[in-house]
Structure 1
Amino acid sequence: MQIEDNSNKEFRPLILAFCCNWCSYAGADLAGSSRSSYPAEVKIIRVPCSCRVNPLFLLRAFEKGADGVILAGCHPGDCHYSTGNYYTRRRMALLFDMLDYLGIERERTRVEWISAAEGAKFSTTMNAFTQTIKELGPNRKLRDLRCMP
C-alpha cells in the first residue's frame, strides 16, 4: 500500500459563485466568449436573482467544503426584479456579522455587482478572489467531517 504525500501539492481552493441569471451569469458568459480567463476552481451556480440566495446556502457551502463563496448580482437599481439586490445587500450584511461571530474570515465571502456587459470585471473579480482565498488557505471552520473524502 502506497501512502500519498500531500505536502507538496499546491492548494487549489474550491470557490462557489452564485450568479444572477440576468447580469452576472451573462457577464461570466461574456468573459468566456471574450476569452478572458478565470480559475477553474470557481464553480458557478446560476440563480434567478441574487435575492433568491438564502444566507444559509453560503453557510452550507462552507460546511460542504467550499473555501470561498462569492455572490454576484446586478448593480443596485438595475435588478431585473426591481429591488432584489437591495434585499441581497441587507441579508449579506447580516451574514457577515454572523461569520464574524463564528470566527470565519470575512474575506472568504464576497458580494459583487457585475452587469452583463462586464465580462472583464467578472474575470478580474474571480481571479482576485481566488488569489485571496489561496492566501487564506483551506477553510477548516465549518467543514462537516461527514462530508470529507
Structure 2
Amino acid sequence: MSDGKVVGFVCRMCALITSDLGPPADVNVTIETIELPCAGKVDGRLLLEAFEKGADAVFVAGCPEHECMNVKGSLRARKRLEHIQEILDQVGVGGERLVMYNVSGTHGPRFAHIAREMAGLLEKLGPSPLKARKA
C-alpha cells in the first residue's frame, strides 16, 4: 500500500527524539507525527479525528511504562487506546488500526521499526473503511 497514511501521536519526553530520524526509505507510507507533552495527554477525540481526516492507521508512542517521565502517562494512554479500539471495532473501522508503542528516547532505531510495522499493518488491512464510505 504505497499511499497509506499513518498518524503518530508521540511523547515529547521520549518518542519524539526517535521520530526525528524519520521512517526509513524503504517504507511506503506517509507518517505524520504530532507532538504531545506526554502520551497520557492523548485524547480519544484526537485519535478518532485522525481517522476521520483520512488516517489509515494511528499510533501513540510513549515512554516505557516503568520509565514514564510523568509516572503514569503511558499507562493512562494505553487505557484510553483500549477504549477507542473498542469504539473503532463497533463502528467497523477496526481497533487493530490503533496501536500503542513504548519507546525509550535513547533507542533511535525504534522509530524505523515502528514505521515498518505500521506499513506491514496497512499492507495487511488495506485502506481505512472510512475512505470507502466517503467515496
- Which TM bucket (shorter chain)? 0.7 to 0.9
Structure 2 match to 1:50:
39
C-alpha contact (below 8 Å) 1:63/1:144 kept by paired residues: no
- CA shift, 1:20, in A, is 0.3
Of the three residues 16, 26, 32, the one matched with 1:25 is: 16
4+ residue runs over 6 A deviation: none
Report Cα offsets for 1:22-46 as digits up to 9, x if no partner: 10011223x45xxx72646111111
Structure 2 match to 1:3:
none
Of the three residues 2, 16, 27, the one matched with 2:7 is: 16
- CA shift, 1:144, in A, is 7.8
Query: Radius of gyration: which is bigger?
Result: 1
Mind listing any 5+ residue stretches in structure 2 that lack a counterpart? none
Report Cα offsets for 1:40-98 as digits up to 9, x if no partner: 61111111100111011111111111111011000002111121112112111111111
- CA shift, 1:11, in A, is 4.0
C-alpha contact (below 8 Å) 1:21/1:46 kept by paired residues: yes
Matches within 5 A, 1:37-116: 37=24, 39=27, 41-116=30-105
Mind listing any 5+ residue stretches in structure 1 that lack a counterpart? 1-9
C-alpha contact (below 8 Å) 1:50/1:72 kept by paired residues: yes
Q: Give the 3-state SS of the residue equivalent to 2:3 in structure 1.
A: coil
Q: Give the 3-state SS of the residue equivalent to 2:109 in structure 1.
A: helix
Q: Which structure has greater strand proportion?
A: 2
Which one-letter code corresponds to 1:12 in the other structure?
D
Q: Give the 3-state SS of the residue equivalent to 1:70 in structure 2.
A: strand
Structure 2 match to 1:134:
123
C-alpha contact (below 8 Å) 1:68/1:133 kept by paired residues: yes
TM-score by length of 2: 0.87
TM-score by length of 1: 0.79
CA distance in 2, matches of 1:14, 1:75: 25
| Percent sequence identity over aligned pairs | 28
After superposition, the CA RMSD in angstroms is 2.1
Which one-letter code corresponds to 1:137 in the other structure?
G
Count of aligned pairs = 133
